[in-house]
Amino acid sequence: MEQDALEADPYLKKRISFTHGDHTLQFDVANTLFSSFEVDQGTALLLRAMEIEPPRRVLDLGCGYGVLGITLASLYPEAEVVMADSDLLAVRYAKHNCTLNGVSNVCVVGSIGLERVPPGAFDLIVSNIPAKIGDAAIEQEFILALLERLAPGGAYWFVVVSGLNRLIPKLGTRHDLRLKQVRKRSGHAVYRLYRRE
């Protein structure tokens, strides 16, 4: 989207500034997108909690308007970053926000789960798991399917609202996952998941 076209976009709500470490990024957001008032606290908590080696290939599933993926793309310009969301308005804004922040190492796709995500393994997967899609979809699309796309030695870092803490540990036990809760604070919990070799 060109800047002039965006200013005329009837969905545009505002521009949000977000700082992570030495990087300050700008995000244009639409009225109907998740966390359109400010960057979600869970997303910010996840970025602060992550301890990773520089990744080569990153997937941000459920990217929304792009905070996780674009932040990682700006931190690791040598990495290939794939961002995917089922909401086409989110895809439109994520693409625009890549341009706005000058990141060119990103591919943004409209995808329900992994349907349209390019093939191949990722050494880093991130997500702010949407709570309202239901337990079965979380288990299949946001845990088990993503685990299959992790490269050997890769890690899946994700954040959930506290209400999902009843589900995530049960999934870890049921599927014998290498799952650890890394950080917890009022409202959110951050988990790290490794593939079993």
Q: Into how many domains does the chain fold?
A: 1
What is the pLDDT confidence band of residue 129, given thresholds at 50, 70 and 90? very high
Is 64 within the bounds of a domain? yes
What is the pLDDT confidence band of residue 7, given thresholds at 50, 70 and 90? low
Average of per-residue pLDDT across 156-181: 94
Query: Domain with 130 in it: what CATH number?
Result: 3.40.50.150
Is 107 within the bounds of a domain? yes
Q: Which residues contact 36 (CB under 8 A, 6 or more apart)?
A: 13, 14, 29, 30
Q: Residue 154: give the domain boundaries.
A: 40-194
Query: What whole-number distance in Å separates Cα of residue 135 and Cα of residue 137?
Result: 6
Residue pair 158/190 in contact (Cβ under 8 Å)? The answer is: yes
What is the pLDDT confidence band of residue 21, given thresholds at 50, 70 and 90? confident
Question: What does pTM read for this prediction?
Answer: 0.93
Average of per-residue pLDDT across 107-115: 96
Is 147 within the bounds of a domain? yes
Average of per-residue pLDDT across 29-45: 79
Among positive and negative, which fits the CA dihedral 148, 135, 89, 99?
negative
Q: Which residues contact 94 (CB under 8 A, 6 or more apart)?
A: 63, 64, 65, 66, 69, 70, 83, 85, 108
Is 30 within the bounds of a domain? no
Is 13 within the bounds of a domain? no
For the chain, give the mean pLDDT.
Answer: 91
Is 73 within the bounds of a domain? yes
Is 151 within the bounds of a domain? yes
Is 34 within the bounds of a domain? no
What is the pLDDT confidence band of residue 161, given thresholds at 50, 70 and 90? very high
What pLDDT score does 36 carry? Answer: 63
What pLDDT score does 3 carry? Answer: 47
What is the pLDDT confidence band of residue 104, given thresholds at 50, 70 and 90? very high
